[in-house]
Chains A and B, each alone.
Chain A
Amino acid sequence: MRVDRRSFIIALLITTTLPVRGWAADAPLVAITAIVEHPALDACRDGVIEGLKQQGVAAETTYESAQGQPATAAQIARSFVGMAPAVIVAISTPSAQAAASATKDIPIVFTAVTDPVGAGLVTDLARPGGNVTGLSDLSPLAQHLDLILEISPQVKTLGIPYNPGEANAVTLLRLMTGYANERGIQVVEATASKSADVVAAARSLAGQVDAIYVPTDNTIVSALESLIVVARQAKIPVFSGDTDSVARGCIGSIGFDYFQVGVQTAAIVARVLKGEKPGDLAVEVAQGTDLVLNPTAAAAFGVTIPEAVLSRAAKIVGA
């Protein structure tokens, strides 16, 4: 056995005895990790760091990216647990799951996770229990409904086209129906299981509804133009759940500015640093801050966007 034993042992010793970074005892450590470098996730991280400053919290921060590999995310999680930080901030679902499986003691604040219950991070949004809480970036449906009512106050029935095969879309439909019913608005469903069926779904809504809300459903969004053509003929205003669809002919939507999502996350981190237990802090839903409007599209539906709404817009699209 001709092992190059000495180089192995030397390499092992070097890697294991490297000094553990020392942190000043008076400044708690906030260890941040994300699954990959991505404009939205990076903005979220910067928001967390900036938000902590705004909260007046003196905390050291460190950041690691798994560069797209869940195995590295698992390793980062262990490495963080070894540093014994005051809080671990996990951006994205896989990073949060890796952190949650690495420690049951160190507080974890997740962010940019759409479905924390489905991801197994918490069992109850209102009372998470355990060491995990955070911020969900679920589509801000209530804010979308507010926007629809502000621009078209006469809406009594709302049409929602969706693909029953998309778990995400079914969840959104259920939640939106709940919000709409609370305000006495009736929801009419129209299903399309493939993009070719979207035209038929749109026609079935024509004459039945006062407005159409397109949730973030990949099938409907991919055939959005065919729906908009039908809706324009019938003069039914169309609103979307994602901001990218606004430029394609929807009147408007509210989306996330991920820097602000990070700032909102920092507020939760600050509460944990001040001694509150993560298990007692309800999971928050990110505030939609980016209002995107398309006045040209609105005109095509015969709708004028009120000046009060236009003045709040973060972005106006459409020539």
Chain B
Amino acid sequence: MSLISFLGAVELGLIYGLVGLAVFLSFRVLNFPDLTVDGSFPLGASVCAAAIVAGLDPFTATVLAILAGAVAGWVTAVLAVRFGILHLLASILVMIALFSINIRIMGRPNVALLGQTTLFTPFEGQAFLSFDLARILVELVVVAVITLLLARFLHSELGLSLRATGANPKMARAQGIDTSRQVLGGMALSNGLCALAGALFAQANGFADVTMGLGTIVVGLAAVIVGETLFRLKGILGALVACLLGSLLYRLVIAFALDVDMLGIQASDLNLVTALLVGFALLAPKLRARMRAAR
């Protein structure tokens, strides 16, 4: 693996780390299997791209993207909580609706940001930083700030109510927590994060495409589960950092799979190789424990 492809993996790993955090919030904290992320990731990208092309500054565009994602998550939660639609189904409905909405927002299926001013532009082309490192640095700062804020939030009274809602809704209600409001807020937060990831992806890679949401949930879940299994970090901050590390490892595995050119592996086997490597990473600690026990 070359340095450039390594840095590329780190860059994508950071962006998809935000998706990992979003999925951690919905699946783990709220216990809400949410597929909306497949729609809110491209939603963030579309809103951000459309806003930048329309002449807004990239910072405002990114904030708009986060708000749009939050609305999408809120709609899913309203369908599930207020109208009693099964949560999985509610999120699928919003996800497929977002496909059309994203095309509406962009006016076409693909909007280019190549050559436009993005969040990264002020840092690119600086003498002391290379092209790739500048982007990674910006992403690292954004992801670190978000992670710390999220950890702090989850330790606050509001955050604790959110966690109680997911852990034991009956008990939470008995404690006077309005659980439906917690779900609405938590889902908005989760999808806002996912939209932020989409907005960063579009700005870093120069385009927003309506198909880019495909499999976002799979990547997010992989980050959460790989992180949990391999890095058993303590506490809420630990769990969040584990999601980020899981996402980084997932991207490194793909970079590795792209590099393997032996045993008759062909380009179309990429997803299989990735699945096998992630599966192996998940099994490795167990295998090691078993070997140790046998000794």
Listed in ascending order, the chain A residues whose CB lies under 8 Å from chain B are: 1-4, 7-8, 11-12, 14-18, 20-21, 37, 62-65, 67-72, 74-79, 81-83, 93-94, 97-98, 100-102, 104, 118-121, 123, 167-168
Q: Is the CB of B238 within 8 A of A15?
A: no
> Which chain B positions have C-beta within 8 A of A62?
261
Q: Is the CB of A75 within 8 A of B5?
A: yes
Bound state CA distance, A14 and B268, in angstroms?
23
Q: Is the CB of A4 within 8 A of B3?
A: no
Bound state CA distance, A15 and B250, in angstroms?
11
Bound state CA distance, A260 and B254, in angstroms?
32
Interface residues of B in 195-217 (CB under 8 A from A): 201, 204-207, 209, 211-212, 214-215
Q: Which residue of B lies closest to A71 (CB)?
A: B12
Query: CB within 8 A of A8: which of B116, B219, B230?
Result: B230
Query: CB within 8 A of B114: which of A4, A69, A72, A121?
Result: A121
Q: Is the CB of A64 within 8 A of B267?
A: yes
Query: CB within 8 A of A68: which of B4, B201, B214?
Result: B214
> Which chain A positions have C-beta within 8 A of B205?
70, 74, 97-98, 101
Write 8 A-B pairs (CB below 8 A) sorted by A numbering.
Answer: A16-B252, A65-B267, A69-B214, A71-B212, A74-B201, A78-B7, A93-B207, A120-B115
Q: Is the CB of B214 within 8 A of A77?
A: no
Q: How far is the CB of B104 from chain A (nearest CB, A)?
A: 11
Q: Is the CB of B112 within 8 A of A118?
A: yes
Given A75-B12, A97-B207, A118-B112: A82 in contact with B5 (beta carbons within 8 A): yes
Bound state CA distance, A207 and B230, in angstroms?
74
Bound state CA distance, A118 and B207, in angstroms?
11
Q: Is the CB of A18 within 8 A of B108?
A: no
- CB of B232 within 8 Å of the partner chain: yes
- CB of B80 within 8 Å of the partner chain: no
- Which stretch, B24-32, B142-150, B281-289, touches the partner chain A? B281-289
A8-B230, A65-B268 given. 14 additional CB < 8 A pairs?
A8-B249, A11-B249, A11-B284, A18-B259, A65-B267, A67-B270, A67-B271, A68-B211, A69-B212, A75-B12, A82-B3, A94-B212, A100-B114, A120-B206
> Which chain A positions have C-beta within 8 A of B131?
104
Main secondary structure on A side of the interface with B:
helix
Given A11-B249, A18-B1, A119-B112: A75 in contact with B258 (beta carbons within 8 A): yes
Quick one: which of B2, B6, B207, B284 has the most chain A CB within 10 A? B207
Q: How far is the CB of B113 from chain A (nearest CB, A)?
A: 7
Bound state CA distance, A6 and B282, in angstroms?
14
- CB of B255 within 8 Å of the partner chain: yes
> Which chain A positions have C-beta within 8 A of B8?
74-75, 77-79, 81-82, 102
Interface residues of B in 84-125 (CB under 8 A from A): 107-108, 110, 112-116
Query: CB within 8 A of A20: which of B1, B9, B206, B238?
Result: B1
Query: CB within 8 A of B9: which of A11, A78, A98, A119?
Result: A78
Quick one: which of B209, B245, B249 has the most chain A CB within 10 A? B209
| Contact-size category for B | 35 or more
- CB of B74 within 8 Å of the partner chain: no
Q: How far is the CB of B236 from chain A (nearest CB, A)?
A: 14
- CB of B253 within 8 Å of the partner chain: yes
Q: Is the CB of A121 within 8 A of B232?
A: no
Query: CB within 8 A of A98: which of B1, B107, B206, B233?
Result: B206
Given A3-B231, A64-B270, A121-B112: A71 in contact with B256 (beta carbons within 8 A): no
Given A75-B258, A98-B205: A3 in contact with B233 (beta carbons within 8 A): yes
Q: Is the CB of A97 within 8 A of B253?
A: no
Q: How far is the CB of A89 from chain B (nearest CB, A)?
A: 14
Quick one: which of B110, B112, B201, B268 has the most chain A CB within 10 A? B112
Bound state CA distance, A120 and B116, in angstroms?
9
Q: How far is the CB of B146 from chain A (nearest CB, A)?
A: 19
Q: Is the CB of B215 within 8 A of A69?
A: yes
Query: CB within 8 A of B256: which of A18, A69, A81, A167?
Result: A18
- CB of B290 within 8 Å of the partner chain: no
Query: CB within 8 A of B258: which of A1, A76, A93?
Result: A76
Bound state CA distance, A8 and B229, in angstroms?
11
Q: Is the CB of B1 within 8 A of A16?
A: yes
Q: Is the CB of B112 within 8 A of A120?
A: yes
> Which chain A positions have C-beta within 8 A of B107?
167
Bound state CA distance, A67 and B270, in angstroms?
8
